[in-house]
């Protein structure tokens, strides 16, 4: 096979093209590496509107700890209140429980509803005792701190065991029958033993959360 001879100008031309390509590429690389954004290239920071009223400020990350009620159903009502020794005669009369010919001062609050409802832990704690009483039904005692114990009475099905740790809002039982009055089949008698005495649960829910749990 006969070989063809390249013309004299071909190789110099190819070399020139390669040199130009290398120079152009180097220049572009230099531009990229030495680039500094101008003002138009910098995204402006979001504009913050400071024209607001203080009442409209809401901190989404703030959480408020509080003592909750021992039930979650909206249909639950306080049927018999706590007996307050310093209350009016009318308030004290409303807080009396009449059972088998005897008037007794209510040491807690009797909550009732038209249907069964869940009974929940008002704060974190440990189940210290579970027992059954012929009058008060199933009873669960939860110790929250050395100064605070809550007592749940008139319970139906109990869902915790002695020694179990419970978190605030955990279901510990279902409401049960109340034998102290004849018209309450879905009831919870709730007592709060705080700093050595029984106190009004309705007032206890308003106590300072941090102060209570740090006792």
Distance CA 9, CA 15 (A): 10
Q: What is the pLDDT of residues 181-211, one digit of tens each?
A: 766 789 999 999 999 999 999 999 999 999 9
Question: Within 53-200, where are the H helices?
Answer: 89-94
Residue 48 predicted with pLDDT over 80: no
Q: Which has more pLDDT, 74 or 57?
A: 74
Q: What is the pLDDT of residues 114-161, one digit of tens each?
A: 999 999 999 999 999 999 998 899 999 999 999 999 999 999 999 999
Q: What is the pLDDT of residues 19-28, one digit of tens each?
A: 655 555 554 4
Q: What is the pTM of this model?
A: 0.69
At the fourth CATH level, the homologous superfamily of domain 77-213 is Glucose Permease (Domain IIA) (2.70.70.10)
Residue 39 predicted with pLDDT over 50: no
Confidence of residue 98 (pLDDT cuts 50, 70, 90): confident
> Residue 63 has what pLDDT?
39
Q: How far is CA 71 from the centre of its chain?
A: 15
Q: How far is CA 184 from the centre of its chain?
A: 31
Question: Within the chain, where are the H helices?
Answer: 10-33, 89-94, 201-204, 209-213
């Amino acid at each position: 096979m006969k070989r063809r001879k390249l013309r004299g100008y071909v190789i110099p031309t190819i070399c020139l093209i390669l040199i130009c390509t290398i120079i152009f590429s180097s220049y572009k690389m230099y531009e990229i590496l030495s680039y500094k954004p101008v003002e138009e290239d910098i995204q402006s920071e979001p504009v913050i509107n400071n024209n607001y009223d203080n009442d409209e400020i809401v901190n989404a990350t703030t959480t408020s700890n509080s003592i909750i009620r021992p039930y979650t159903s909206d249909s639950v009502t306080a049927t018999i209140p706590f007996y307050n020794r310093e209350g009016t005669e009318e308030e004290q009369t409303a807080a009396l429980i009449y059972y088998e010919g005897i008037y007794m001062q209510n040491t807690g609050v009797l909550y009732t509803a038209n249907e069964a409802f869940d009974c929940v832990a008002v704060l974190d704690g440990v189940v210290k005792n579970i027992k059954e009483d012929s009058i008060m039904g199933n009873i669960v005692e939860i110790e929250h701190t050395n100064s605070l114990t809550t007592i749940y009475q008139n319970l139906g099905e109990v869902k915790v065991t002695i020694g179990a740790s419970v978190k605030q809002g955990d279901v510990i039982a279902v409401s049960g029958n109340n034998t102290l009055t004849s018209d309450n089949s879905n009831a919870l008698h709730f007592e709060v033993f705080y700093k050595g005495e029984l106190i009004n649960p309705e007032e206890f829910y308003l106590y300072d959360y941090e102060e209570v749990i740090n006792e």
